[in-house]
Structure 1
Amino acid sequence: MKYTALLSSRPFRWCGDHLRGLALASLIANIGIIVTGAAVRLTASGLGCPTWPRCTDESYTTTPEMGINGAIEFGNRLLTFVLIAIAVACFLGALARRRRSLIRLSVAVALGIPGQGVIGGITVLTNLNPWVVGLHFILSIVLVAGAYALWRRVDAGDGEPILLVPAPIRHLAWINMAVSFAVIVAGVVVTGSGPHSGDHGAKRNGLDPDRLSQVHADLVFLLVGLTVALWFALRAVGAPAEAVRAAAVLFWVEMAQGVIGFVQYFTHLPVLLVGLHMLGSGLVWTATLAVLWSLRTRPPVPEPASPLPQPTPATTPAPVP
């Protein structure tokens, strides 16, 4: 009784009523922290706060003496608390909706955020080791996937999924997603070999950036080819308009990201273009997920049928004495 009353309280009801908006805020915030993390690295502010979890040995906050680099790094750390607040609100909303699928997804996203903070701390304590920095970014990509799944499941049911396209098309979409993830991983490794290390004294991974950039570009060509094949295949089998549109959006997002990538490479990695490319990676990943989610739907769980009323036995009137 107390549990039911708690779920009916005003904060829970508000979160439940606005869960879709909260899930979208979580998705945007997790993409946004990719961009702010890029700003930390591109402004050489990675060690603006030289230790962790405190900003300095004496204080959890930055000081004016630490300058703009300290402010940028400390500001990025503060965004973690924004993510936590949104994640908690999503969890309360999922509880209010009383749907296990939403509760599991909200918990997964919420647990990933402290993990991201810990990896960020290890990044600082290891003086911006490029492999740890890369792991920090990969976890952000995973959190984007979790936040996107939560956003899509709010309006979907919990019934068995209804597949909207033939199995070969679904397999092609999964391969497309795997290659998209591989492109992101390759980009992370390229970044670890390049000049934007987050601090002037930070080490690089020691790999050849030109060769890595070629591998990254080859994977991009493969991804674009798969996306075009998926787009035409969806049109050929008469897939729902949402799926065809999602594939088209993915293609054009990839085109924009590819243009930024090539221009930044041939202009020797200007800071602004690298930041846009980081944003683009989050958008390509989100568009990839959108295609996959458009290939099936989930209906609501049907209500259990109520038992038919049993006929009342006829009663024989008592004999009149």
Structure 2
Amino acid sequence: MSSLTEPIHELQKHIRELKERVASVCLPRTPNLYVLRMAYAVVIANIVLIVSGGVVRLTGSGLGCDTWPKCTSSGSWTTTPEMGIHGLVEFGNRMLTFVLIIVTGLTFLSILRIAMPEASSLSQWWKKLFTGLSHSRHQYSDLFNLSLLLLWGIPIQAVVGGLSVLLKLNPWMVTAHYMLSAIMIALGACYLNRVRRYFASGVIESEGVLDSSLPQGAVFLKYLGWTSLVLVCFLIFMGTVTTGTGPHAGDPSAHRHAFNPWVVTRMHSFSVWAYLMVILSSLYLARKYQWSQALRRSWYWVLAVVVYQGVVGYIQFFNGLPVWLVEMHLLGSALFTWAAITAAERQLVMASQPSRRLAQQRRIV
């Protein structure tokens, strides 16, 4: 009997050591490179999901699984051979949701003990899944709450996606589905911005947030930031309406908007041109008032993505919306959301004295 006890104790010891190693990596107590990598990963994972959704729509596989939450009306949770390639494409897209759950869950765990160092039991953490953290009691409440919103966004997004299938790809439901995806990327962009600002070396210095006073022309910085946010929301929305009026419905039987394609396309393009004017105005004022180099880099990144989107958008429109160009435009839309929200969050923090003070307090020296 004693000969068996020793190997069992040894195995238990190895299991405890393995748990401790996993916990030290996935639940760090201090900010490290893993936290930053997961911040990037959660943004990229949401972009991949948008690209995958585009493949579903552009291959006509939107009803490859003809019901939800199961895949078939006959009761199967998975695709069947009779459903062919469309079933495989749609089911594969559904499976990517579980990848997103894993990535987002790991992102949430990576900040959990940093934001709640005082919590010693799972029950203390569990309660905060529904309430979030208050700013007055927790230094990194913003990181915890942003990652929590990303976590809760997944089931909400899944339900909206399921409803769009049940409603046979009604274009308004597809719009809601995409807008939620854009919100997820926006939340991820804000989270990444703040992780880099607080924990990455040299970022907060390059933003000029450590300066005691607001930059010159801060009022323009603030108004341009809010104007750009409004325009970003409108142009993304109009992009989905334009798509809902076009030929790529996700299924031949799906309902389409009855709007004039030229009118909605022009409204979408006009909003892009208006946003472009805001970016060019921001770059001009940045040079005039000597705003931070980090902010200018953000705007140049946005400008590059907008130019890419404009070129692809006009080419696809005048060439009958070929599938591969529409997919490139969809990828550009996801990258645009990331770039635009990154720039807007950065400039709104720089233009607000309370936000600057909070960032200074949260910075790891």
Instruction: Decide which of 57, 73, 76 is 1:59's aligned counterpart.
Output: 76
CA shift digits 1:152-190 (9 cap, x unpaired): 22233499x765561212211221121122111001011
Aligned twin of 2:137: none
Aligned twin of 2:315: 263
2:31 is the alignment partner of 1:30: no
TM superposition shift of 1:9: 4.0
What CA RMSD, in Å, does the superposition of the two structures yield over aligned residues?
Answer: 2.0
Aligned twin of 1:300: 361
Describe the shift of the 1:66–1:170 C-alpha distance in structure 2 as closer, same or farther (beyond 3 A).
same
TM superposition shift of 1:209: 1.1
Secondary structure of 1:136's aligned partner: helix
CA shift digits 1:211-241 (9 cap, x unpaired): 1111111111111111111111111110111
Q: Which amino acid counterpart does residue 250 of structure 1 have in structure 2? A: V
Describe the shift of the 1:171–1:103 C-alpha distance in structure 2 as closer, same or farther (beyond 3 A).
same
- Between the aligned partners of 1:227 and 1:270, the Cα distance in structure 2 is 29
1:1-321 map, 5 Å: 9-15=20-26, 16=28, 17=32, 18-56=34-72, 57-98=74-115, 99-157=140-198, 163-164=214-215, 166-295=218-347, 296=350, 298-301=359-362
**CA contact under 8 A between 1:181 and 1:285: conserved in structure 2?**
no
Which stretches in structure 1 are left out of the alignment for 5+ residues?
1-7, 304-321
- Between the aligned partners of 1:141 and 1:302, the Cα distance in structure 2 is 28
**CA contact under 8 A between 2:64 and 2:83: conserved in structure 1?**
yes
- Between the aligned partners of 1:227 and 1:146, the Cα distance in structure 2 is 21
Q: Which amino acid counterpart does residue 162 of structure 2 have in structure 1? A: G
More helix by share: 2
**CA contact under 8 A between 1:12 and 1:96: conserved in structure 2?**
no
Provide the identity percentage.
37
Moved over 6 A (4+): none
TM-score using structure 1 length: 0.87
Larger Rg: 1
Secondary structure of 1:58's aligned partner: coil
Which stretches in structure 2 are left out of the alignment for 5+ residues?
1-18, 116-139, 351-355
TM superposition shift of 1:109: 0.3
**CA contact under 8 A between 2:63 and 2:250: conserved in structure 1?**
yes
Q: How many residues align?
A: 295
TM-score using structure 2 length: 0.77
Secondary structure of 1:244's aligned partner: helix
TM superposition shift of 1:100: 2.3
